[in-house]
Amino acid sequence: MTRLWDINIGNPQAAGTGVTLVIGQKWAVGQPLRGNEIVRGALIASSVGVGGLTARLGWTRLHQYDVYAAADGWSFEAVYARPWVLQWGMRRDTNYLGGGVTFRDGLMQFSGALLTDVSTAARGTVIVVSAGMSLIEF
């Protein structure tokens, strides 16, 4: 299991912190004893901030390298979001579900998702984005 600690800004959490777990295969690449690894498997992530909560469940393939405790790669996810303070185009205290993608490049991570309101009859659709930093726990 690989754990990543996140700090991010975005919609709906505004400024938040979170954790990402990757459960799956891990194998060494490159020079022996250098720490370079490929991690592939199920992804479980959560980010909570002053404005709301975002949870992600999906599949990822990351190249983890030793120099920065960082990773490169993509993940494709089912996304749940619930804003509770800030609205930024989303209704407060409303549940949203949809699909999204996260791109990691070194310490940086960028996420986006297309979500639909599943709490009300209005069924509005919103785009949510976030950017932040992510560190791998060895």
**pLDDT digit string, tens, across residues 26-82:** 887 776 655 678 889 999 999 999 899 999 999 999 988 765 577 889 999 999 999
Domain range for residue 64?
2-137
Q: 133 pLDDT exceeds 70?
A: yes
Mean pLDDT taken over the chain: 87
pLDDT reported for residue 54: 94
Q: What proportion of the chain, given as a percentage, has pLDDT over 70?
A: 91
Q: How wide is the angle at C-alpha 36 spanned by C-alphas 31 and 38, nearest 5°?
A: 120
Residues with Cβ within 8 Å of 14's Cβ and at least 6 positions away in sequence, in order, are: 49, 50, 51, 52, 85, 86, 88
How distant, in Å, are the alpha carbons of 6, 72, 120 from that of 75?
15, 10, 29
Report the percentage of the chain scoring pLDDT > 90.
Answer: 54
Q: How many domains does the chain have?
A: 1
Q: Can you tell me the mean pLDDT for 2-23?
A: 91
- Are 66 and 76 spatial neighbours (Cβ–Cβ below 8 Å)? no
- Give the CATH number for residue 55: 2.40.128
Contact between 22 and 54 (Cβ < 8 Å): no
* CA quadruple 85, 89, 91, 97: dihedral sign: negative
> Which residue in 57, 61, 27 sits closest to 41, CA to CA?
61
